Structure 1
Amino acid sequence: MKDYMELDSAAQDMLKELGNIGTGNAITALSAMLGKEIVMECPEVRVVGFNEVPDTLGGMEAIRVGVLVQTGGDISGIFMFLISESFTQVMLEQLLGFPVEAGAYDELASSAIAEVGNIMCCSYINALSSLLGFKVEVSVPEVSRDMVGSLLSVPIIYFADHSDNLLLIEDRYFIDDQSIVSHVLFLPNLESLKRIFSAVGEPYGR
């Protein structure tokens, strides 16, 4: 069975272009939403094994805020936007106009987090649709605050039989003087992975 790691360099370059376009759109939207100038570094787009993801995010016990959206249509799978609590607090203060205690996210705060996560994920989904000519439907976003191991358990268990790897996009940017790092994970299901390979000119399976 074939997975991301068997894509040739041209196909992996296409996935990196997806990350570049999606990040640019996401940061533009986030800047407008927060009313702040955001200085963006070049995103790092990697195909990584499931077992590498926790360390990239600070370890299994690191606390992160996650926004998960499921996709349907031509691409069925999961996009997950992951941010630190410090970034979450900065973001919420800008959006709501008052400080929010770490982890104390009421309905208003959770709604704001969901909206930002939805914008970020949809920026990549729209880039994917544009690059590959796909039609993609998006679910209502789900917000969770938990340890990295817990946040990743459901999507990884659900999709582990489709591929040993996933697409990890790491974004680094500056809001005022604060350095921010966020991550987007993309896990397509088996049929969607086949469509992606076909769209980038890769035969599926061996």
Structure 2
Amino acid sequence: MKLIEQMQPIHLDALKEAGNIGAGHAATALSQLLHKKVDMSIPSVKIIPLYEAKTIMGEETLVAALYFDISGEAPGSMFLMFQEKEASDLIYSLTGQTIHLLNGRLDPLAVSALQEAGNILAGSYVSALADFTSLPMQVSIPSFAVDMAGALLDSGLIEASEVGDYAIVIDTVIGETKNSENSTPLGQFFLLPNIEAFEKILKSLGVRLL
């Protein structure tokens, strides 16, 4: 089954639209958490072979990562990865403190802040994707790690490769005002559905599987 060859721009647009709906929900939740207006968007969504996933972040890029299990009608797993500046900026927004998460000891406050934000982001996106595809899905409480992106993805990709061949990569951007010059990247999602889940998601988007 050559999924990538069968994908059309309209199908990726549908995934992006689901992402932007989720981003809108997440922005509302983050606005309430931060007590200030936050806008979020999904500038791009792409589907890539699993073996290419590590090249997206850079294998030796140090990242803070949250890992989620996805259960329901389209099971799989998900990584949310923050590079150092992304993590530090988000922690500052959430706590008002400058904490260099990736340098030295892991601060419990920093970890808690990222987990809270990750729960909001992942939960909002998966909920929107579930509504968009009519496939009930839920995310687990995340596990947290700081390591090289390649090493972290290896652990998830080994498991994912047993049941699937592709990853959905979702870029996320956050800013205090829409289209603001202060808008900054807010990590990347790596959604790793198993092969049956991928088929269900694509069928729901109108992709005919040959």
Report what 1:189 is aligned to.
194
Asked whether the 8 Å contact 2:19–2:42 carries over to 1, the reply is: no
CA distance in 2, matches of 1:203, 1:77: 21
1:24 is aligned to 2:24: yes
Shift of 1:117: 0.8
5 Å-filtered alignment, 1:119-130, equals 119-130=120-131
Shift of 1:73: 1.3
Asked whether the 8 Å contact 1:71–1:78 carries over to 2, the reply is: yes
Report what 2:48 is aligned to.
48
Report what 1:92 is aligned to.
91
Shift of 1:184: 1.0
Report what 2:207 is aligned to.
202
Shift of 1:151: 1.5
TM-score, length-scaled by structure 1: 0.85
5 Å-filtered alignment, 1:69-80, equals 69-80=68-79
Measured against aligned partners, the alpha-carbon deviations of 1:85-121 in whole angstroms (never above 9, x if no partner) come to 2222222233334332333323333222111111111
Q: Is there any run of 5+ residues in structure 2 with no aligned partner, and where?
A: none
- Following superposition, which runs of at least 4 residues in structure 1 exceed 6 angstroms of deviation? none
Letter in 2 for 1:179: T
CA distance in 2, matches of 1:42, 1:197: 19
Q: Is there any run of 5+ residues in structure 1 with no aligned partner, and where?
A: none
Letter in 1 for 2:75: S
Report what 1:166 is aligned to.
167
Report what 1:33 is aligned to.
33
CA distance in 1, matches of 2:172, 2:165: 23
When residues 13 and 39 of structure 1 are mapped into structure 2, their CA distance, relative to the original with a 3 A threshold, is: closer
Measured against aligned partners, the alpha-carbon deviations of 1:1-35 in whole angstroms (never above 9, x if no partner) come to 34354234433332222222222222332333233
Shift of 1:193: 1.6
Asked whether the 8 Å contact 2:169–2:191 carries over to 1, the reply is: yes
CA distance in 2, matches of 1:133, 1:162: 22
**Identity, % of aligned positions:** 29
> What is the total number of aligned residue pairs between the two structures?
204
Asked whether the 8 Å contact 1:21–1:124 carries over to 2, the reply is: yes
Secondary structure, aligned partner of 2:98 = coil
Shift of 1:180: 2.9
Asked whether the 8 Å contact 1:43–1:172 carries over to 2, the reply is: yes
TM-score, length-scaled by structure 2: 0.83
When residues 4 and 33 of structure 1 are mapped into structure 2, their CA distance, relative to the original with a 3 A threshold, is: farther
Secondary structure, aligned partner of 2:99 = coil
